[in-house]
Amino acid sequence: MKAFLILEDGHVFKGTSIGSTREVISEIVFNTSMTGYLEVMTDPSYAGQAVCMTYPLIGNYGICYEDQESRKPWIDGFIVRELSRVPSNFRSVDTIQHFLEKHDIPGIAGIDTRALTKILREKGTMNGMITVNENYDLDEIIPRLKAYTTGKVVEKVTCKEKEVLKGNGPKVALMDFGAKRNIARSLNERGCQVTIYPALTPAEEILKDAPDGIMLSNGPGDPKECTTIIEEIRKLYESDVPIFAICLGHQLMALATGGDTHKMKYGHRGGNHPVKDLETGRVYISSQNHGYVVDAEALEKKGIAKPAFINVNDGTNEGMAYEGKNIFTVQFHPEACPGPQDSSYLFDRFMKMMGGTDHAEK
């Protein structure tokens, strides 16, 4: 069946429908990872977005449900150059085609993803529509595309109730703003007892449980939309509990302490982004997925925090260390999945902050 990807600037790509045939409007973004498409589809940070995979052949190792990063996929749509319809992998239990159909996610294959990526790089991230309607009307569609916003998607992806992963080590409160499973797993593997809290949990409730450390997770959308959460994070900041924050959590901590964020032209999404640790000078290859970035200058001028990591490619902020506080935050994903595990040592740093044992020393 024919399918069309229509961008808000009027570009139209013609391809083949994969997955659901329903029509969807979403923000169109691209991911440069060569593998890890299931982890990408099930990363809650992609809620409100349709993902274009820049690698040309997707699906050759099928679907293994054990690799999901959350309970379901959150992408609005999936865009590929070529879909491998016959996967070859001893772990595979499903195909992308069936996986998309099962979860009612529309997709399109057979388009020039290089051309699409170049448009998004040159003009910036924009909204688009995936449709199988051959009689589409651009004059009617384009105003709808320009009016689309992702809205408050954190409330959509967060857990509904508190969950505990048992452990014999430090007690960690994990704020679920759209947390990938491997964040909790990385802490639990180090012996932590991890309690996962819904995004809107009051700070008082978290502190009442007396955690040894607090983790602020990744998540989707514009951080400035999370006004209620930002107020609660300010209260957590004012406590003496060690805090480690990733991605959206990093942005929210900056906003809670008087900093600012802004939307990037097309964001960082992939598993090959070099980040430099400003303390050691060492460069790590990182997994990233974000469209907003922290303006570090305001926090540094106020003496609240100093930059801890920068992106080697474009110089944007990738992490902050908070002055006089046991708090550090990073924009990238040390838990990877997908992506390199170069920066997983940051979980060991967090363990030491809480008085626990360094994983590497065991």
| Residue 103: active-site member | no
* N-to-C CA span, the chain: 55
Q: Show the CA angle centred on residue 117, arms to residues 28 and 310, nearest 5°.
A: 90
8 A C-beta contact, residue 309 and residue 278: yes
Which positions ≥6 away from 138 have C-beta within 8 Å?
6, 10, 12
Find, among 85, 86, 128, the residue nearest to 109 by Cα: 85
Residue 128 among known ligand-binding residues: no
Q: Choose, from 268, 273, 290, 333, the residue flagged as catalytic.
A: 333
Q: Choose, from 247, 273, 290, 337, the residue flagged as catalytic.
A: 247
Give the whole-angstrom CA distance, residue 26 versus residue 339: 25
Residue 292 among known ligand-binding residues: yes
What is the C-alpha radius of gyration for the chain, rounded to an integer number of angstroms?
20
Residue 219 among known ligand-binding residues: yes
Residue 45 among known ligand-binding residues: yes
| Residue 192: active-site member | no
Q: Where are the beta strands (DSSP E) in the chain?
A: 2-7, 12-19, 24-31, 49-53, 57-58, 77-80, 82-83, 106-109, 126-131, 163-165, 171-176, 193-198, 213-216, 243-246, 260-277, 283-295, 305-311, 317-322, 327-330
What tokens appear for 287 in the block?
Answer: 């997994």
Find, among 116, 118, 131, 120, the residue nearest to 76 by Cα: 131
What one-letter code names the amino acid at 268? Answer: H
Q: Which residues are annotated as a binding site for L-glutamine?
A: 45, 219, 221, 248, 251, 289, 291-292
Instruction: Please list the active-site residues.
Output: 247, 333, 335
Q: Which residues are annotated as a binding site?
A: 45, 219, 221, 248, 251, 289, 291-292
